[in-house]
Structures are given as C-alpha cells and as structure tokens.
Chains A and B, each alone.
Chain A
Amino acid sequence: QVQLQESGPGLVKPSGTLSLTCAVSGVSISNSDWFSWVRQAPAKGLEWIGEIWHTGSTNYNPSLKSRVTISIDKSKNQFSLELKSVTAADTAVYYCVKNGWYSLDFWGRGTLATAS
C-alpha cells in the first residue's frame, strides 16, 4: 500500500525558505516513477509545483522555477521541496504525490505552510 507523508515547519518567515520532506512507503522511490509536489492556497484550486524522477531529473512549473528545488534521497526513500524567497502568496497546503499514468495517483494528506 503506497503511502506518502509530508513533514516540515508550518511557519516560514517572509523572504525565507520553505523546506518540506515527503516520506514514501509501500514503494521504492528508486523504481521507475515520477514524484510531484502540488500546492493549494486557502480556498483555492490546485497548482502543480514540479516533479522528480528517481535519477534526479526534474521538471518545474515555469511560474515557480526560479525559486524551486526538488531533490531525492533514495537511501531514505524520500524526496524534498525547497521554495526560496517566500511571500504570503506561498501560503498553502503542500501535497506530495506519486505520479501515475499522466496523472497524480497517490497523494499525501498535505501540510499547511504559512508565510508570516
């Protein structure tokens, strides 16, 4: 059973860096799967942030690309998100996701990160 669990500070100072980690269980992150980060601002829709392949190859949303880094730690079966220079507009629930067939298959429960 695939499970994903986000963790990280819930509060980030404006202009600081938001750092989150996603622990994956039930599947090896070294398999041929992409893993993504998606966020949802309060009472808003879904925004895809980016994805990472087990080789470390990444794709990012162009609107966030200059501020985002997604990395992978195969030894811990986890992947991480860093978002620099945060503002109030980055306040959102952040989800880590295992990609499926051109879709987003398994989602973590999400973690609220507030820039304040």
Chain B
Amino acid sequence: ESVLTQSPDTLSLSSGDRATLSCRASQIFNDNFFAWYQQKPGQAPRLLIYDTSRRAAGIPDRFSGGASETDFTLTISRLEPEDSAVYYCQQYGGSPLYTFGQGTKLEIK
C-alpha cells in the first residue's frame, strides 16, 4: 500500500502570504494521478487540483499544484481568510485505488 505523508501537520500564516503544502508518496504509480482537496469544518471535501497540476472547475488561479520526483506540492498564493481549512492529497493507482494523506491544517492568522 502506498503511504502519503503530508507536511507540515499545521501551517499558520497571514493573509496575503504564500502557502506551500507538501505530500510525499512512498510509491509512485503514475506521475499525474495526484489530486488535492480542501475541506472546511462541517463540509464535504472539495476537489482543487487533479492530474497533479490541473485546477478543477471554478478553482481560482491562486491554487497551483506541482511535483518533483516523489514530492507533490500545493501552493496557495495570496492567502485569504476563507482559505482556512484542512487540505488532503490523494493518489490513484495503488491498493487501495485511492489513498489519502493525513491532512494539513492551514490557519490564517
């Protein structure tokens, strides 16, 4: 089973800052089968990024995804208060087919 390890566990930044969230995969099945989700309290997760770097419909261009070998990143530029949430990475292709990281909590000071 592929394990996804996200870092940091918690990130506290100010409005206008740039956030970089990381996700390391123990196994890679396809460089592009990688996604990111945002989850606010009491809400379902929302797809932000798929195919490693493609934004889902309606996602502002402040959100971007990238990769370097086994490390995948979600970058949020120009943080806004509504970006406070837990962010999950997800990989497709192993067993189980969909695996998630443990989440990074982003707090906007």
**Distance (Å) between the CB of A2 and the closest chain B CB?**
11
Q: How many A-B residue pairs have CB under 8 A?
A: 64
Chain A residues proximal to chain B, CB less than 8 Å: 36, 38, 45-48, 51, 59-63, 95, 100-105, 107-110
B100 & A45 in contact (Cβ 8 Å cutoff): yes
A102 & B51 in contact (Cβ 8 Å cutoff): yes
Query: Nearest chain-A residue to B29 (Cβ)?
Result: A102
**Which of B12-20, B67-75, B76-84, B86-94 is found at the contact surface with chain A?**
B86-94
Q: Does B56 contact A (CB under 8 A)?
A: yes
**C-alpha gap A62/B2 in the complex (Å):** 13
> Which residues of chain A have C-beta atoms less than 8 A from B30's C-beta?
102
> Which residues of chain A have C-beta atoms less than 8 A from B46's C-beta?
107
* Secondary structure call for the B interface: loop
Query: Nearest chain-A residue to B1 (Cβ)?
Result: A62
A62 & B98 in contact (Cβ 8 Å cutoff): no
Residue in contact with B44 in the complex, picked from A36, A48, A103, A107, CB distance below 8 Å: A107
- Given contact pairs A45-B88, A45-B102, A46-B88, A104 touches B97 in the complex (Cβ within 8 A): no
Q: Does B45 contact A (CB under 8 A)?
A: yes
Q: Does B63 contact A (CB under 8 A)?
A: no
B35 & A102 in contact (Cβ 8 Å cutoff): yes
A61 & B96 in contact (Cβ 8 Å cutoff): yes
- Given contact pairs A46-B88, A95-B44, A107-B45, A101 touches B96 in the complex (Cβ within 8 A): no
A51 & B97 in contact (Cβ 8 Å cutoff): yes
Residue in contact with A45 in the complex, picked from B93, B97, B101, CB distance below 8 Å: B101
**C-alpha gap A59/B94 in the complex (Å):** 12
> Which residues of chain A have C-beta atoms less than 8 A from B32's C-beta?
102
> Which residues of chain A have C-beta atoms less than 8 A from B88's C-beta?
45-46
